[in-house]
Amino acid sequence: SDIQDLLMTGEEQFSKRIQNFINIHRNSFLVLSAALYGPEEWNVMFRIQKRFLGSNLRIIPAHNTAETVKLMLTIAKVTSKPRADDIRYKMAMTKAQIIENSPVWKMLQEYQLHCNFSIW
């Protein structure tokens, strides 16, 4: 959506369209397009984020049509079932590796081990 269109049509009408979109789609992405993001454009984006905080709406700024198309293709690729499963698996493995190598995790394991021995 173009931010200038939003400013001209009225924020309330646009918000209703966004809400309808969120109600229909499980994963909602709103790509806001503006050639230059000045204070007015950032303010609009902030108000939209604030209004839909806690929803499944993700707001992404774009600067031109080519960038918008690239974002749409990226979103389609990473949310497709096989790719999403692969990304989820890689994130889970990375999380497990971070936890496994964490000094805090090791300290907690040692503490639990110490507590288990002190019971006997």
For the chain, the domains span 1-79, 80-120
Give pLDDT, residue 42.
85
Mean per-residue pLDDT of the chain:
81
Is the whole model's pTM more than 0.75, yes or no? no
Give pLDDT, residue 117.
59
Has residue 57 got a pLDDT over 80? yes
Cα separation, 98 vs 91, in Å, equals 10
Give pLDDT, residue 118.
57
pLDDT interval class at 70 (50, 70, 90): very high
Lowest mean pLDDT among 18-22, 69-73, 87-91, 114-118: 114-118
Give pLDDT, residue 105.
77
